[in-house]
A = this chain, B = another copy of it.
């Protein structure tokens, strides 16, 4: 069966029409120890941008070096939208920058507070339907570390209003997050150049 076709034997008894089912928001989780979790999320955001969806990216772990390429291109696409109306609007937020809290570097307590406040901000945005497509990049980690309550996340995602898509990335996704997701992909590492002592390089890793 070709991708995108639905097996008629497998149509759910949920009382929805195909059209209504098409309108359902997607919750996707990209997990596993392989590469491509965030990269695929940004690839999805690219498609969403092209369809005119409003994009909100939220980075939960300081590894900015590894995302500068995506950030640069998405900010450029956001400018294009503002200038010409092409695609969708783009906002790109990093923990500890740009929101209301002040950030001192370094202590774990600061990071935990940043993550918790970041999640509160996202909850507020979901309630207000501020974006159409959210990337919560590396959001599995603050959940894993207990900085953000997974029950609160699962409940918020399950009950969010409207048609807001959410993609969450990171290793070791909590089973409760998996449970609430529609689409879970595990990226499994089979071979990686860094295993052979090769270093990250421009244009590939960032």
Chain B residue nearest to A88 (CB atoms) is B203
* Neighbouring B residues of A80 by C-beta, 8 Å: 76
Judge if A23 is at the interface, Cβ distance under 8 Å. yes
Would you call B39 and A4 a contact (CB within 8 A)? no
Q: A3–B132 Cα gap in the complex (Å)?
A: 30
Q: A21–B41 Cα gap in the complex (Å)?
A: 28
Judge if A53 is at the interface, Cβ distance under 8 Å. yes
> What 1/0 mask marks residues of chain A from 175 to 206 whose CB sits below 8 Å from any chain B CB?
00010011111111111111111111111111
> What 1/0 mask marks residues of chain A from 15 to 34 whose CB sits below 8 Å from any chain B CB?
00010011110100010101
* Neighbouring B residues of A43 by C-beta, 8 Å: 36, 38-43, 46, 70
Question: What is the count of identical protomers in the complex?
Answer: 2
Judge if A35 is at the interface, Cβ distance under 8 Å. yes
Would you call B40 and A186 a contact (CB within 8 A)? no
Interface size class of A (residues with CB under 8 A): 35 or more
Judge if A131 is at the interface, Cβ distance under 8 Å. no
Least CB distance from A190 to B in Å reads: 4
Q: A63–B199 Cα gap in the complex (Å)?
A: 35
The residue in A40, A132, A200, A206 that gathers the most chain B C-beta atoms within 10 A of its C-beta is A40
Interface residues of A (CB under 8 A from B): 2-4, 6-7, 10-12, 14, 18, 21-24, 26, 30, 32, 34-36, 38-44, 46-53, 63, 65-66, 68-70, 72-73, 76-77, 80, 86-87, 132-133, 165, 178, 181-206
